[in-house]
A and B are shown apart, each in its own frame.
Chain A
């Protein structure tokens, strides 16, 4: 896809908070080209032909060869090699296209987990950190699916605190091998993987190192499949390394670089998980919409009831919003990559740098995508009513499978903490100027309020002002919290959660507004009526949620006059002209109901 690299490359990660982004700077999903649309259809067809008829068999795990055979089929279609460069047997597609594949396959329940673990955390550590020999040896076989990969980071006592793992690697007496001993758990694809990316500490190192371990090295044993609430068909094992001899040349990157690898690979994993959740949400909502059109009560389809319309519209709006933010960020990542490569950087390094640059957005999107999915499947169950609770209906699997997404790739709590932590670190390093905008907000707080009367007319003028104010509200609360707690802010996780919520809502609401503004520019306002309603619904509800989070934070740390002043400021910065959301939601729902699916 052609991109105007020069202008867009200037956008920095996290900068959305302090910089107004213009609609022409964002990529919108409506701009996917014919080839990308064909890839989208290819993935949909794959699910329809190979996965959906076998969902029960996949989940039953009776045939341990079924999942790897489906992975082989995906490999034959090229779905495992989208991100792999052509010279290593892949298709060298941009990040945005690989997101599209992740999104559609995201509707594939347990299979989606197997595929994303293989192509993401399984393959990318070697692709991004491997030396030439390692890449040549492993990547082509991973890109076709001949070898399948798993990622072994988590241990029984080391989950969110990943660097605390106890698995040890000791250099053998002849200096030819590392001997790995330890236990890993929750290993996706563990049962059938040929290659494991294993994190272990060499001797008494402080930080982890990463190793490429072939199952055939020996010393690898595993427990039975874990019994799980959802994604029952995804192989999840505990894996034991008992004197597993790994050739020294299989150390990935440098000694003690493992934690950095783990963290950086998770950046990709997070945004991909988020977009896969968007794909899962679209599928679940479409299923629920179809049911609501078929199910009759009181003589009419239940989709004709306002209470059901509300659910459909709210889920559709959140999905649309999350999708807007995901592809905005993924294009930013592609643009940053192109700029780094143009500047002479090696491709793998450029990919990592680009992802690292937008790590804040990746964490935001992981949280948002997974929570939209949970919201959607919950309302999906509700729309199905009694049948939603039946294990025979489709919502049962959707509901159970969704839940893990708020837990893996860093829990949503960890990711919320990370967004604020990364933002503050960048501010302290001086790479992101939060200080001046925060001080400007403080100054504004002391000045005579602007009563909101804007003379300007035009598309989204008021909404953009509301959005700018929403960011100010976030800066105000964050600034005050930092002043209050200084270095001890990290102990105030409740406040950090509130701040993260404000940040997430701001980013997603802005992305949605920019998408619709750009779309209106391309197609005219009349053709985008429904999308416009969704942007407005999202903005209004996002402001409400952010205001509530802000209030929780303020009342938890400010008292007396300071509290009063800040609450007044919050009110001022989250003030928005009232809008008939019921009517807006009805329009959105009616469109979906008429189409019989999520069709935006």
Chain B
């Protein structure tokens, strides 16, 4: 079985976010990049499947410039067999999905896993578009994935509960915890990461029709005004006249 895991290269969750060039570019200075945490779960599940099923291979794919390679090698250290980097800035979801679909078409994967969303732009639609482009079912957010021959049993988070599904391979899944326990690479994995194949391919041309205008940080939090619990009238007045939300 062939599994493709798509990973994003995102700022660490504790990073301070800044923009440059008149708020049109993300400032990566001093930022530590990691594998998207949801992608990490997808990767961990793929490795578990590989370990339980002899002959299974796991390929990781990232759409990004050369500086994402340390992140890709981390995925190789965790246990993926080989990697593909599509040499392009991941400008928008459609662009990324198109690159994934092009690569996937050329190989023919049984399973395409990724995180439910990346934690930088949080679009959460790449898996859906990839499924559409490849004519495969696409499901998200998947919390459980058990293979059963040519089918898989999934659990998906839905409003107020979970949905149990059965789906034929191949399919695309956007994953989240607790699909697997996140994995720490072992020393042997780290030492072998350098020797595993990392293929760089050029992107296909995509006219996505979307362009970025500018970024904005959330407005800074204002000062807090304390209102005594028995003074509801004052609270209402403040909400009406000062906060102007009523």
Q: Chain B, 177-220, contact with A by CB distance < 8 Å: what is the 0/1 string?
A: 00000101111101101100000000000000000000000000
Residues in A whose Cβ lies below 8 Å from that of B73 = 34, 38
Binary interface profile of A, 55-82, with partner B (CB < 8 Å = 1, else 0)? 0000000000000000000001111011
* B245 shortest CB reach to chain A, Å: 25
B77, B186, B190: the one within 8 Å of A76 (CB): B186
**Cβ-defined contact, A38 with B190, below 8 A:** yes
Contacts of A79 in B (CB 8 A): 187
Q: How far, in angstroms, from A597 to B185 measured CA to CA in the complex?
A: 25
Shortest beta-carbon distance, A599 to chain B, in Å? Answer: 8
Known: A77-B187, A79-B187, A91-B188. A38 touches B16 (CB 8 A): no
Q: Does A594 count as interface, using CB distance less than 8 angstroms?
A: yes
* Contact bitstring A284-320, B, C-beta under 8 A = 1, else 0: 0000000000000000000000000000000000000
Interface residue B74 (Cβ < 8 Å from any Cβ of A): yes
Q: Taking A34-B73, A595-B16 as contacts, is the C-beta distance between A39 and B184 under 8 angstroms? A: no
| B14, B70, B188, B193: the one within 8 Å of A78 (CB) | B188
Inter-chain contacts of A596 with B (CB < 8 A)? 14, 16
Please state if A78 and B186 are interface contacts (CB–CB under 8 Å). yes
Contact of B184 among A35, A77, A594, A599 (CB under 8 A): A77
What total of chain B residues lie within 8 Å of the partner, measured CB to CB? 17
B193: A residues at CB distance < 8 A: 35, 38
Is A562 an interface residue, CB under 8 A from the partner? Answer: no
A443 within 8 A of B: no
B85 to chain A, nearest CB (A): 15
A residues near B77, Cβ cutoff 8 Å:
38
Chain A residues 74-109 with CB under 8 Å of chain B are: 76-79, 81-82, 91
- A78 — nearest CB in chain B belongs to which residue? B187
- Determine whether the beta carbon of A42 is less than 8 Å from that of B16: no
The CA-CA distance from A46 to B187 in the complex, in Å, is: 12
A49 interfacial contact with B, CB 8 Å: yes
Q: Are B14 and A81 in touch, CB under 8 angstroms?
A: no
Which residues of the partner chain B approach A599 to less than 8 Å between Cβ atoms? 30
Min C-beta distance of A84 to chain B, whole Å:
11
Please measure, in the bound complex, the distance between the C-alpha atom of A514 and the C-alpha atom of B188, giving whole angstroms. Answer: 34
**Cα–Cα distance between A41 and B188 once the two chains are bound (Å):** 15
A594/B186 in contact, CB under 8 A: no
CB distance from A182 to the nearest CB of B (A): 37
Q: Which residue of A lies closest to B187 (CB)?
A: A78
> Does B182 lie within 8 Å of A42, measured CB to CB?
no
B residues 33-75 in Cβ contact with A at 8 Å: 70, 73-74
Encoded as 1 (CB less than 8 Å from any B CB) or 0, chain A from 565 to 600 comes to 000000000000000000000000000001111010
B60 to chain A, nearest CB (A): 15
What is the CB-to-nearest-CB distance from B67 to chain A, in angstroms, rounded to a whole number? Answer: 11
Q: Tell me the smallest distance from the CB of A291 to a CB of chain B, in Å.
A: 15
A45 interface residue per 8 A CB criterion: yes
B30 to chain A minimum Cβ distance, whole angstroms, is 8
Q: Which residues of B contact A34 (CB under 8 A)?
A: 70, 73
Report the bound CA distance from A594 to B185 in whole Å.
Answer: 31
With a CB–CB cut-off of 8 A, which chain B residues contact A82? 187
Query: Does the CB pair B16–A91 fall under 8 Å?
Result: no
> Complex Cα distance A34/B188, Å?
15
Residues of B within 8 A of A76 (CB): 186
Given contacts A38-B193, A596-B14, are A81 and B184 in contact (CB under 8 A)?
Answer: no
Residue on B nearest A41 in the bound complex, by CB: B74
Contacting A91 at CB < 8 Å: which of B14, B182, B184, B187?
A: B187
Which of B70, B186, B188 counts the most chain A CB atoms within 10 A? Answer: B186
| Complex: A42 Cα to B186 Cα, angstroms | 8
With A38-B77, A49-B182, A78-B186 already in contact, the answer to whether A91 and B70 are too (CB < 8 A) is no
Q: CB-nearest residue of chain A relative to B191? A: A91
Q: A34-B70, A46-B184, A49-B184 are in contact. Are A39 and B16 (CB under 8 A)?
A: no
Contacts A594-B16, A595-B16; A35 near B194 (Cβ below 8 A): yes
Known: A49-B182, A594-B16. A35 touches B187 (CB 8 A): no
Distance of A77 Cα from B73 Cα, bound (Å):
17
In the complex, A35 Cα to B76 Cα: how many Å?
Answer: 12
Complex Cα–Cα for A599 and B182 (A):
26
Residues of A within 8 A of B187 (CB): 39, 42, 77-79, 81-82, 91
Give B1-39 interface residues, CB cut-off 8 Å to A: 14, 16, 30
Q: Which of A42, A49, A91 contacts B185 (CB 8 A)?
A: A42
How distant is the Cα of A37 from the Cα of B73 in the complex, in angstroms? 12
Considering the complex, give the chain B residue whose CB is closest to the CB of A97: B187
Contact residue among A35, A46, A49, A597 (Cβ-Cβ distance under 8 Å from B190): A35
**Nearest Cβ distance between residue B176 and chain A, in whole angstroms?**
18
Report the nearest A residue to B32, measured CB to CB.
Answer: A41
Decide: A39 near B190, CB < 8 A? Known: A34-B70, A595-B16, A596-B14.
yes
CB-defined contacts of B190 to chain A, threshold 8 Å: 35, 38-39, 42, 78
Is the pair B182, A77 in contact by a Cβ cutoff of 8 Å?
A: no
Residue-wise interface mask of A (13-43) relative to B, using a CB-CB cutoff of 8 A (1 in contact, 0 not)? 0000000000000000000001101110110
The answer to whether B184 touches A42 (Cβ under 8 A) is: yes
Q: Determine whether the beta carbon of A38 is less than 8 Å from that of B185.
A: yes
Q: Contact mask B73-85 → A, CB, 8 Å, 1/0?
A: 1100100000000
B191: contacting residue among A35, A49, A77, A595, CB under 8 A: A35
CA distance A49 to B14 in the complex (A): 17
* From A42, A82, A594, A595, residue with most partner B Cβ within 10 Å: A42
Name the distance in Å between A560's Cβ and chain B's nearest Cβ.
58
User: In the docked arrangement, what's the CA distance between A512 and B25, Å?
Assistant: 35
Residues on A with C-beta less than 8 A from B30 are 599
A76 vs B183: C-alpha distance in the bound complex, in angstroms? 12
CA distance in complex: A34, B77 (Å): 12
Who on chain B is nearest to A90 by CB? B187
* Interfacial chain B residues near A49, Cβ < 8 Å: 182, 184
Question: How far apart are A21's CB and chain B's nearest CB, in angstroms?
Answer: 29
Please measure, in the bound complex, the distance between the C-alpha atom of A45 and the C-alpha atom of B40, giving whole angstroms: 13
B182: which A residues are within 8 A, CB to CB? 49
| A46, A78, A596, most chain B CB atoms within 10 A | A78
Name A82's closest neighbour in chain B (CB-CB): B187
Near A by CB (< 8 A), chain B positions 150-192 give 182, 184-188, 190-191
Known: A46-B184, A78-B187. 18 other contacts (CB 8 A): A34-B70, A34-B73, A35-B193, A38-B70, A38-B77, A38-B185, A38-B190, A38-B193, A42-B185, A42-B190, A49-B182, A49-B184, A77-B185, A78-B190, A91-B191, A596-B14, A596-B16, A599-B30
Instruction: Enumerate chain B interface residues (CB-CB to A < 8 A).
Output: 14, 16, 30, 70, 73-74, 77, 182, 184-188, 190-191, 193-194
Can you list 27 A-B pairs, Cβ within 8 angstroms, ordered by A? A35-B190, A35-B194, A37-B70, A38-B73, A38-B77, A38-B185, A38-B190, A38-B193, A42-B184, A42-B185, A76-B186, A77-B184, A77-B185, A77-B186, A77-B187, A78-B186, A78-B187, A81-B187, A82-B187, A91-B187, A91-B188, A91-B191, A594-B16, A595-B16, A596-B14, A596-B16, A597-B14
The 6 A-B pairs of least Cβ separation, nearest first, read A78-B187, A45-B184, A77-B186, A78-B186, A91-B187, A38-B190
Give the interface of A toward B (CB within 8 A).
34-35, 37-39, 41-42, 45-46, 49, 76-79, 81-82, 91, 594-597, 599
